[in-house]
């Protein structure tokens, strides 16, 4: 998430020391770096090497966008480096030194005269960033994110053209997964089966299945099933999934949980659970259940508080629809790519805004110390429920998160291990995310320089003379933002190690 503007402003005008760009170095450092990457490949698998190489290429192309637009505008570029810190390897070509440094947290292109604070040889003044027209400065500032969006669009098109869309089918659906110990499992349903009816009521639309099952919770029903072209009937007892009202009566369980057993005694409904507890209400009891977002059975000690007569649970069969793939021609893939690119970009913008919403940001930081998410915990939440919430891996799925470099490589490795399809999806996600983040309208991000250039343009038009923003006023803001993101990176690293996204 480092860019031309960020690198130049934070590393030069903010007086962060950097060795002079003074020509070539030997290849020893480069050879050592390559050897280290290969060693990682032998140690952890070469999918890690593929992911690291992909990320380095993405960083390089980001800076290449800044470099090419700056050169096209006639600006003088003196450095083009991958990474930060001490120099590993470099060489000079013309007026620019190219190379690799030590700390893999981004890259930078050094363009002279980014702000009014930088002293430049008078002979080079016409080639400074600050002396270029607004549209030239704007093109340089947005070039990095533009490169990311181009990469994401191309990868998304390739994904859709080669693999199509994988969506859950609602109409005329087939069973994809079956929850362990559920009513569907007891009925010996299998993936690929089609549920035709429940007690004669049509179930061809999966969206309406919950409404069909609701009045049969805890009752024996006849399922009409189609398998391999043949239709047959089977009988099962519809299970129940706890509602908010029902979960509130059982300390240690959450809305959406499915009751399976009290000790060794199977229970399929809330009423059976209450009956199995008997006179042990208010005492810890070992209960088996299927947790929220999981098909696997779990065991926990829970406490039955005050049971209720109605509304504690709703019908639950225990099936999910089988995803189906929609194929596209190259022409169709273009239109679908535009639609999904816009949708993914908007979701990324929305996700970033949600992440920085104070309660969510507090949850993110607190997650590094084992704290439960604030939207699931209130002053009335019991210790047992807090313990259960903290144990939920599925919280990661919907929780706004940022990844550290380690988490990013791990996420990419998981994606790449699923093949070329997963690798393309990773490229789409990472490029849209970085492209959007770099447009945050604050220094040291690209978006901060867009804001400054636009402000200078507006002031120049209104005053009738060229206006320059005093960069000195932005120094505390740039340092504050940079400090915040360094802290976020450290917190993200802790969370990626102790609480990885699953």
414-423 pLDDT, tens per residue? Answer: 888 878 888 9
Low-confidence ranges of the chain (pLDDT < 70): 1-26, 166-171, 292-296, 367-401, 499-502
Which pLDDT score is estimated for 122?
92
Which pLDDT score is estimated for 295?
59
d(C-alpha 340, C-alpha 332), whole Å:
12
d(C-alpha 384, C-alpha 248), whole Å:
12
Q: Characterize 151-186 residue by residue with b for buried, 16 or more Cβ atoms within 10 angstroms of its Cβ, and e for exposed.
A: bbbebbbbbbbebbeeeeeeeebbbeebbebbbbbb
Counting Cα atoms < 13 Å in the Cβ hemisphere of 368 gives 18
Dihedral sign computed on CA atoms, order 35, 37, 43, 45: negative
State pTM to two decimals: 0.72
Q: Domain segments of the chain: what residues?
A: 4-162+406-497, 246-304
Which pLDDT score is estimated for 392?
56
Which pLDDT score is estimated for 369?
66
Which pLDDT score is estimated for 354?
85
SS3 state of residue 326: strand
Which pLDDT score is estimated for 500?
67
Which pLDDT score is estimated for 431?
95
Which pLDDT score is estimated for 389?
59
Backbone angles phi, psi at 455, to 5 degrees: -60, -45
- 413 Cβ contact list (under 8 Å, min separation 6): 44, 45, 47, 48, 51
């Amino acid at each position: 998430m480092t860019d031309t503007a960020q690198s130049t402003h934070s590393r030069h005008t903010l007086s962060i020391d950097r060795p002079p760009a003074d020509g070539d170095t030997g290849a020893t450092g480069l050879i050592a770096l390559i050897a280290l990457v290969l060693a990682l490949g032998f140690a952890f698998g070469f999918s890690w090497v593929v992911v690291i190489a992909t990320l380095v290429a993405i960083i390089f192309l980001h800076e290449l966008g800044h470099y090419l637009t700056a050169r096209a505008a006639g600006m003088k570029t003196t450095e083009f480096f991958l990474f930060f810190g001490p120099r590993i390897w470099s060489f000079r070509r013309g007026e620019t030194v190219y190379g690799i440094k030590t700390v893999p947290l981004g890259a930078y292109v050094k363009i002279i005269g980014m702000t009014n604070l930088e002293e430049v040889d008078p002979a080079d003044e016409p080639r400074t960033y600050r002396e270029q027209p607004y549209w030239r400065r704007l093109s340089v500032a947005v070039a990095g994110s533009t490169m990311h969006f181009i990469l994401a669009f191309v990868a998304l098109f390739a994904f859709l053209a080669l693999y199509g869309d994988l969506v859950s089918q609602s109409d005329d659906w087939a069973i994809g997964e079956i929850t362990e110990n559920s009513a569907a499992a007891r009925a010996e349903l299998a993936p690929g089966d089609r549920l035709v009816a429940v007690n004669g009521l049509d179930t061809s639309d999966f969206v309406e299945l919950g409404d069909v099952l609701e009045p049969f919770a805890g009752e024996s029903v006849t399922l009409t099933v189609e398998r391999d072209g043949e239709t047959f009937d089977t009988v099962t007892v519809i299970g129940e999934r706890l509602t908010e009202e029902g979960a509130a009566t059982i300390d240690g369980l959450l809305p959406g949980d499915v009751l399976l057993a009290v000790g060794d005694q199977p229970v399929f409904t809330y009423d059976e659970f209450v009956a199995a507890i008997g006179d042990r209400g208010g005492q810890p009891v070992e209960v088996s259940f299927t947790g929220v977002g999981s098909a696997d059975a779990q065991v926990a000690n829970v406490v039955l508080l005050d049971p209720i007569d109605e509304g504690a649970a709703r019908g639950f069969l225990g099936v999910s629809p089988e995803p189906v793939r929609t194929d596209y021609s190259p022409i169709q893939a273009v239109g679908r790519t535009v639609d999904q690119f816009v949708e993914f970009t908007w979701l990324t913008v929305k996700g970033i805004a949600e992440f920085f919403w104070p309660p969510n940001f507090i949850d993110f930081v607190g997650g590094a110390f084992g704290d439960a998410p604030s939207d699931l915990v209130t002053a009335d939440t019991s210790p047992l429920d807090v313990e259960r919430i903290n144990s939920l891996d599925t919280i990661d799925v919907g929780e706004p998160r940022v990844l550290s470099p380690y988490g990013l490589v791990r996420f990419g490795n998981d994606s790449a291990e699923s093949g070329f399809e997963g690798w393309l999806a990773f490229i789409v996600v990472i490029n849209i995310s970085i492209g959007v983040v770099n447009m945050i309208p604050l220094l040291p991000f690209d978006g901060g320089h867009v804001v400054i250039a636009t402000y200078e343009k507006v002031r120049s038009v209104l005053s009738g003379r060229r206006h320059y923003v005093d960069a000195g006023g932005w120094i505390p803001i740039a340092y504050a933002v940079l400090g915040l993101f360094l802290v976020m990176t450290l917190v993200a690293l802790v969370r990626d190690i102790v609480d990885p996204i699953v």
